[in-house]
Structure 1
Amino acid sequence: MNIDHSELAKRVIELSGGKQNLSDEMDQKLARISNKWDQDVGAIGRILRAHLFVEHFITECLIAFNPALGDLDKARLSFSQKLALIENYSPEIQELAAGIRRLNKVRNQLAHTLEAKVTDKDKESLLSVKTFSALREELAKPGYPSDNNMDVVEDFAKHVGSRLESLADPGSLANRFQQARREYEQRT
């Protein structure tokens, strides 16, 4: 079937109510599309980097805790599935889990809306991880840590990465503390 594209274009213009109506409609659509395209790429990058960073260390823990696990790439586990598999490994990971889930929610919102934003509610959720919040405040003294939502996301990701990296290393001080705690709890 041969299509006469010129005739097709004329009919689309006619169905649109004329050239001006079609032009106006296309301009409006382009403005909406441009709005989605013209996002803050710096903010997008910061959110994605934080999420990927945390996922890297979750994966390291998953492998360290389960050395005979097999090929994780072939398993194609989601971020949430990986977290669920390591979450009950220690009280330390359990404490981090709510904040990690919130970071995943921020990343998912970005993926579904193409808007890179971290709300005050997101920030407060991350700061509700008590050890993170207390350490962040102590490290900033005599000043105060940044109140910027995006800075909190990045600080949280670094905190999680550091703690998970220690847990994934069987010879780490964190693991020795964890072992001592388990032994103590078994005695009492």
Structure 2
Amino acid sequence: MGLNFKEIFTATMVLFAVIDIIGNVPIIIDLRKKAGHIQSEKAALVAGIIMIAFLFLGKSILNVIGIDVNSFAVAGALILFFLALEMILGISLYKEEETNAVTVSVFPLAFPLIAGPGSLTTILSLRAEYETMNIAIAILLNMIFMYIVLKTSSKIERIIGENGIKIIRKVFGVILLAISVKLFASNVQGLFTS
């Protein structure tokens, strides 16, 4: 199939919603205050490597464990559902805010905040429907965008404001909720036919 711009766009938007880098701007600013500095390049690189590695090795890991992609996609849909509820309702279910000033760019920023359970599950769930190359491009696009946001997080906070960030989180939460329902519906049948 090769390059498919519709797949790249959809996968990019899904990952963008899951990673929720704009919604995480307040957490990023808090980490910057505690650590004094965030290495944006390091955070983007580490998160990108984790996600690309999971894209290519995730299926093999599942096969070793004995789980099929449909089961993982349904589990992923449920995680996305709860992440969406978290974004819409403003509750916190997953995020750890434990900070270490020395390694804050890698932990908790690159992992688990960016390349966390939600994004890794999403990557495998997307793999059930899309070409691997298109998902890899979507990951790279998100890492570039994430790097820009990390570099300009304080400016973004001033421009958008606290209410703007809350609105963006809720809008992407609704999009994510719809995506999780679609992902669940398209993969749940595979559980009973395989």
**In terms of Rg, which structure is larger?**
1
Q: TM-score, normalised by structure 2?
A: 0.23
> TM-score scaled by structure 1?
0.23
